[in-house]
Structure 1
Amino acid sequence: MKIQNNSVVGLTYELKVSKTEDEIESAPFSVEVRDEEDPFYFLFGQSGLPEKFEELLAGQKQGEEFSFTLTVEEAYGEADDELILNLPKSQFSGEQGFNKEMLEEGNFLPLMDENGYPMQAKILKDLGEELLLDFNHPLVGFDLHFDGKVIEVREATKEELDHGHVHGEHGEHD
């Protein structure tokens, strides 16, 4: 089966990122490896991943290897200053499941948006009573270099399509 809309796709890959500043590109450095022990599964066409990522995988079959780069514009774009906010520390209390160690600069806070979807914010600075948080995607401003292999392609079940995500061993358990 070829990768197409509404198929479940399993990948192994190494993701490297690079940044271009003043027309000089940094050497790509590895930020994530998904191997046979921890493959990445997603519902093609409903993944929320960059459109170009899915476009470059479309039509591939199980066992095929891939290697491509997404530019900043094709990936997550540039940082949006409007997504950097000061929020009161009181919103991140023990009652909400946060602890002091979680609120240290540089950490990513696991959060939920108003619709209950998981998101994260990076703590840029502890301002005493407030935290300066960056809600931009962690990969904004980077070119993304993928090298990997398609390890599975199958039809999504009706339940997976209804819920919009993969179920079972490599997905969410509902």
Structure 2
Amino acid sequence: MSDSSEKISANKVVSFHYTLFNSANEQLETTRDGEPTLFLVGADNVLPSVEQAMMGKAVGDSFTINLAAVMAYGLRDENKKDRISAKYLKHEGKLKPGQIVRIDTEQGRRTATVIKVGKFSVDIDLNHPLAGQDIRFDVEIMAVRDGTQDEIAHGHAHGVGGHHH
């Protein structure tokens, strides 16, 4: 499945473990206690700056990617707030400020943070929860292989750690 001499390049499927830290060196998330993440190079499945840092790497490579906020999830935009009908978030259960929710927008599915919950409406912040933060990824490349025709056509990796249809 994986050729250890293969380097990461366009249309390769990369399997990798990562640990994400904020600028205070607090661990925010990790894949190391489960399956590695899969992504198809060139399909906008990961942050462009992360994908760029992986180019040319191979199985077994471990490295750190330090990203300023602008290269990670962007700067905070105080105008990215909205009030939506609470009925759109009924599936999220009892809402509370600070809760992360997913909403469908004209730009596709987005992550938002609940600011305030009213009887009929919810104020949300549409900035990514990590917007405005410098972050660090500690990455280890586990496998690299050619993407299949299906994966390339669908624009994402299939299988464990990737997308399932």
The normalised TM-score by structure 2 is 0.87
Match of 2:22 among 17, 21, 26: 17
Equivalent pair of 2:13/2:157 in contact (CA under 8 Å): yes
Hey, what does 2:29 align to over in structure 1?
32
Normalization by structure 1: what TM-score? 0.83
Secondary structure class of the residue paired with 1:152: strand
Partner of 2:142: 151
How far residue 109 of structure 1 moved from its aligned partner, in angstroms, is 1.5
What is the match of residue 24 of structure 1? Answer: none
SS in 2 for 1:42: strand
In the alignment, the residues of structure 1 paired with residue 55 and residue 98 of structure 2 have an alpha-carbon distance, to the nearest angstrom, of 36
> What is the distance in 2 between the residues matched to 1:121 and 1:173?
24
4+ long deviations beyond 6 Å = none
- What's the counterpart of residue 6 of structure 1? 11
Q: Does the CA-based 8 Å contact 1:110-1:119 persist in structure 2?
A: yes
Write out aligned runs for 1:67-106 (5 A): 67-93=64-90, 98-101=91-94, 103-106=95-98
Structure 2, unmatched stretches of 5+, are: 1-5
Q: Which of the numbers 117, 141, 147 marks the counterpart of 1:126? A: 117
Q: Which amino acid is 1:171 matched to?
A: G
1:119-168 CA distance string (max 9 Å, x none): 22111111332111111112111111111210011111111111111112
1:138 match: 129
Contact 1:12/1:36 (CA < 8 Å) preserved in 2?
Answer: no
2:124 is paired with a residue whose SS is strand
Q: 1:37 to 1:91 in 2, by over 3 A?
A: closer
Contact 2:39–2:46 (Cα < 8 Å) also in 1: no
The code of the aligned residue for 1:32 comes to E
Secondary structure in 2 aligned to 1:45? coil
Q: CA RMSD in A?
A: 1.8
Given that 1:69 and 1:146 are in contact with CA atoms closer than 8 Å, whether structure 2 keeps it comes out as yes
For residues 109 and 170 of structure 1, what CA distance do their matches in structure 2 show?
22
Shift of 1:71: 0.7
Q: d(CA) in 2 for partners of 1:32 and 1:65?
A: 17
Q: 1:121 to 1:62 in 2, by over 3 A?
A: same
**Distance (whole Å) between structure 2 residues aligned to residue 11 and residue 28 of structure 1:** 21
